[in-house]
Amino acid sequence: MKMNHIAVVVPDVEEALGFWRDALGLPFGGVEEVPDEAVQVGFLSLGDAHIELMAPTTADSGVARFLEKRGPGMHHICLEVDDIDAAIEELAAKGVQLIYEVPRTRENGTRYTFVHPKSTGGVMVELYENPERG
């Protein structure tokens, strides 16, 4: 298992690049819309992991509520697993609450789910199926 990304909620991705790309100098991969999650995201490279900047695109999403309630800041960490179905089964059997019991699939084919913060002591954990997995 390895760290894939750390996600930061921001009001505006382009504006947040002023620090993460322009001041810190992290390579930026461009802005993408993720309609399934009602977010606009921008990934910046950090070694073989990433920073994911995330801005809500609707007012009634979990991310919008997070921004409303808590303001901008850390939203989740994303860990890579080799087999997301096995990981979900194993975690569920241990009483861990998964947000998507059936993994969602991103446009790039990456399958993912989230562990509810209530099961982790308050840190939302996203699980990505290792995109290099054969």
Q: Is the dihedral of CA 92, 74, 13, 81 positive or negative?
A: negative
Identify the residue among 53, 78, 115, 127 touching Co ion (CB under 5 A): 78
Q: Which window, 13-21, 34-42, 80-88, 89-97, contacts ligand LP2KCY5N (CB under 6 A)? A: 34-42
Determine the distance from the C-alpha atom of residue 131 to the mean position of all C-alpha atoms in its chain, rounded to a whole number.
15
Please state whether 16 falls in left (phi above 0), alpha (psi between -120 and 50) or beta. Answer: alpha
C-alpha to C-alpha distance for 35 and 105, rounded to whole angstroms:
12
Identify the residue among 87, 126, 127, 129 touching Co ion (CB under 5 A): 126
* Buried/exposed code over 93-107 (b: 16+ C-beta within 10 A; e: otherwise): eeebebeeeebeeee
Identify the residue among 17, 55, 67, 78 touching ligand LP2KCY5N (CB under 6 A): 78
| 50 touches ligand LP2KCY5N by CB under 6 A | no
The residues pairing with 43 across neighbouring beta strands, listed in sequence order, are 52
The type of residue at 52 is E
CB 106, min distance to ligand LP2KCY5N, A: 5
Identify the residue among 34, 49, 77, 79 touching ligand LP2KCY5N (CB under 6 A): 34
Binding footprint of ligand LP2KCY5N on the chain (CB under 6 A): 7, 34, 37, 39, 41, 52, 54, 62-63, 65-66, 75-76, 78, 99, 106, 112, 114, 116-117, 122, 124, 126
